[in-house]
């Protein structure tokens, strides 16, 4: 049997790092150490925050480092539309049209519907499920642009996340860049407020959660590491610099265990400087391994005593 050298080295590194975890490490300390092992095996920078909405407990690494949002902002964009529709400040079922000039890269829905147009709700669903970039741009223009998106986050108490540009320019986020960025700690809590808080009425919240569960782009990322029987939904993002040297693979969402574990939200970002083909496999593998950490963190003895819903 032939063993891929990259996978062998990654596995060997993980085993070696695992042996270095002190046996007397606290449960949360061990989970953080396991995340460091995943980061080392991936040969990149891994930012993770796993947040228990019932206890307020969390675990992660590089939680306060900034990472490019890429397409993960589209989850919040869909939530913003549904919030304004519920408040009767915009009609999500209003039909809009667009032209060939609007069709930037990755337009699986908008290219197919260019002749007939679509409702804003359909655009939100397409942006969430298929990550359609023109759909997101059209929605942004109807919701106050990047400034409107940033204002929505501020209204939720998120003073970190920010959107500054449209697709596809927002994906060009070198490491020192502040534009179009968030942190794992900020985004995990923003997802918690959207999915488990009072940001949306029950009908709209259920609709958005349904879209997240339907989104299959995350099936090879965090959700791939969750055990059978868990309910989870997410929004992924993938971006590379114009010079092609740095890539970010991201995944944000929620997870609920079959025995009442959680509910939890997560925000994960993996950044590496490699060729696209190589880092895609390693990025997805790193995020899938985070899914296994989510399951461990959800076990009662890992977290804090339940004190009631936080959101």
Distances (CA, A) of 198 to 55, 141, 156, 203: 17, 25, 10, 12
- 161 carries an active-site annotation: no
If you write DSSP's letter for every residue of 175-210 in order, what string do you get?
TT--TTEE-HHHHHHHHHHHHHSSSS-HHHHHHHHH
How many other CB atoms are there within 10 angstroms of residue 87's CB atom? Answer: 9
Instruction: Give, in order, the Cα–Cα distances in Å from 302 to each of 191, 259, 262.
Output: 22, 15, 12
Q: Which of 58, 70, 71, 161 is catalytic?
A: 71
Nearest to residue 52, comparing CAs of 243, 210, 257?
Answer: 257
The residue length of the chain stands at 311
Buried b (16+ CB within 10 A) or exposed e, 273-295: ebeeeebbebbbbbbbbbbbbbb
Catalytic residue among 167, 246, 256, 261: 167
Task: Kindly calculate the radius of gyration of the chain based on its CA atoms and give it in whole angstroms.
Answer: 19
Would residue 71 show up in a list of annotated catalytic residues for this protein? Answer: yes
Active site residues: 71, 167
């Amino acid at each position: 049997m032939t063993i891929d050298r990259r996978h062998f080295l990654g596995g060997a590194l993980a085993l070696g790092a695992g042996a270095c975890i002190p046996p007397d490490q606290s449960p949360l300390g061990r989970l953080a150490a396991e995340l460091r092992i995943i980061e080392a095996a991936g040969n990149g920078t891994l930012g993770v925050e796993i947040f228990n909405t019932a206890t307020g407990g969390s675990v992660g690494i590089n939680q306060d480092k900034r990472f490019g949002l890429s397409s993960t902002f589209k989850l919040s964009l869909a939530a913003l539309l549904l919030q304004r529709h519920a408040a009767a400040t915009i009609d999500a079922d209003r039909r809009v049209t667009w032209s060939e000039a609007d069709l930037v890269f990755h337009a699986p829905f908008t290219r197919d519907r260019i002749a007939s147009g679509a409702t804003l709700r359909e655009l939100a669903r397409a942006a969430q499920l298929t990550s359609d970039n023109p759909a997101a741009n059209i929605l942004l223009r109807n919701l106050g642009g990047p400034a409107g998106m940033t204002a929505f986050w501020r209204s939720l108490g998120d003073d970190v996340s920010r959107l500054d540009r449209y697709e596809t320019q927002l994906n060009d986020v070198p490491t020192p860049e502040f534009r179009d960025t968030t942190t794992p700690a900020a985004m995990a809590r923003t997802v918690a407020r959207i999915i488990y808080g009072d940001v949306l009425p029950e009908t709209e919240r259920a609709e958005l959660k349904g879209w997240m569960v339907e989104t299959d782009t995350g099936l090879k990322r965090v959700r791939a590491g969750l055990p059978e029987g868990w309910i989870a939904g997410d929004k992924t993002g993938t971006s590379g610099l114009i010079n092609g040297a740095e890539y970010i693979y991201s995944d944000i969402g929620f997870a609920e265990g079959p025995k009442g574990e959680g509910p939890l939200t997560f925000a994960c970002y993996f950044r590496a400087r490699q060729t696209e083909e190589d880092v895609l496999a390693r990025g997805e593998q790193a995020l899938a391994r985070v899914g296994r950490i989510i399951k461990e963190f959800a076990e009662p003895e890992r977290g804090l005593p339940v004190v009631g819903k936080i959101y």
